[in-house]
């Protein structure tokens, strides 16, 4: 048997990634299948086209554009409420994510952290958790 790549069993620390278009370098979160600027294609399997380079986003600074405190959560969440917001990151990308602090205000300075946002069978789902900075 040829070499097994044991790296796939490595338990990763939570991270959220942007994808970078290989032709024009534009960053995307989430990633499309055709680049909006230069029309380059993406192949998630990486076989026919590049699957595009992943760029980690945690640690980036950002500004809070809007927020909410949601009481009626969907299946799978037993919290009384959760806080969410839309943030503009310093590299120009925007994202929606959870807020880790109680008194959000529009324009507040935040920092992007990555955490487990949902537990699915056999796999944890990582996403943005924004904190005050």
Q: From the CB of residue 15, how many other CB atoms can be counted at a distance below 10 Å? A: 14
Q: How far is the CB of 43 from other proteins (least distance, A)?
A: 17
- Give the one residue of 15, 58, 100, 127 binding other proteins; rule: CB under 8 A: 127
Residue 122, by phi and psi: left (phi above 0), alpha (psi -120 to 50) or beta?
left
Q: Does 84 bind other proteins (CB under 8 A)?
A: yes
- Give the one residue of 40, 55, 65, 132 binding other proteins; rule: CB under 8 A: 65
Nearest to 112 by CA among 53, 96, 75, 122: 96
Size of site (CB under 8 A) for other proteins:
33
Q: Does 60 bind other proteins (CB under 8 A)?
A: no
């Amino acid at each position: 048997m040829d070499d097994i790549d044991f790296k796939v069993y490595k338990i990763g620390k939570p991270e959220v990634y942007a994808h970078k278009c290989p032709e024009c370098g534009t960053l995307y979160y989430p990633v499309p299948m055709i680049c909006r600027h230069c029309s380059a294609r993406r192949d998630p399997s990486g076989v026919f086209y590049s699957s595009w380079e992943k760029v980690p986003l945690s640690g980036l600074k950002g500004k809070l554009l809007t927020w909410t405190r949601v009481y009626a959560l969907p299946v799978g969440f037993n919290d009384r409420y959760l806080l969410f917001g839309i943030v503009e990151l310093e590299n120009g990308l925007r994202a929606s994510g959870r807020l880790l602090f109680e008194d959000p205000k529009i324009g507040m300075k935040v920092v992007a952290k990555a955490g487990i946002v949902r537990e699915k069978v056999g796999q944890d789902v990582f996403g943005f958790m924004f904190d005050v900075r």
